[in-house]
Amino acid sequence: MPEGEEKICTVCGDRATGYHFHVMTCEGCKGFFRRSISKDVCFTCPFTRNCTITKAKRRQCQACRLQKCLAVGMRKDSKSGLGSPPSCSWCLAQGRLAGEVQGLLSPGEYLCCSLVSLGVLPTGLRHLPLMNSPAGGIPG
């Protein structure tokens, strides 16, 4: 980062405070991403999963905020055996359509998550899609 250059959060455009989880972000997106990957969160976009993430609106759609975090390359330091494709036994058993419902769910959203939160599936089955690196490899 050249000095004097603006430090802009890659996720929301707020003032960034440095690199967090491999991406230049603000304190808010840093905390949001850390909380997201440390818990079994499953967010759902109330719109069409393409919300614009800005400083003012970043709180209004957690699903798209997290999606953006992942899209720009935020990830945990991959020492702990991460990077395998997202999969849980239930989704594998149901097949792509039931598990992913492509076109309906965005990356990191899985039907199993909802069924787990409804108590239908045991928590052990829940996807942990947040721990996966973007499919294209390490960006930047």
Binding positions for DNA, rule: CB under 7 A: 14, 18-22, 26-32, 34-35, 38-39, 58-59, 62, 76-77, 79, 81
Residue 14 binding Zn ion, by CB under 5 A: yes
Report the alpha-carbon angle 103-51-92, nearest 5.
30
User: What is d(CA 70, CA 68) in angstroms, rounded to the nearest whole number?
Assistant: 5
The neighbouring-strand residues paired with 105 are: 102
Which residue of 79, 85, 123, 124 would you call a contact of its own copies, by CB under 8 A?
Answer: 79
Contact indicator for 25, 16 with CB cutoff of 8 Å: yes
Residue selected from 48, 84, 85, 123 as contacting its own copies according to rule CB under 8 A? 48
Cβ nearer to Zn ion, comparing 12 with 37: 12
- The interface partner of residue 138, options being Zn ion, its own copies, DNA, none and the CB cut-off 5 to 8 Å by kind, is its own copies
Give the Å distances, CA to CA, from 60 to 39, 46, 57.
19, 9, 5
Contact of residue 93 among its own copies, Zn ion, DNA, none (CB under 5-8 Å per partner type): none
Q: What's the token pair of residue 18?
A: 């440095």
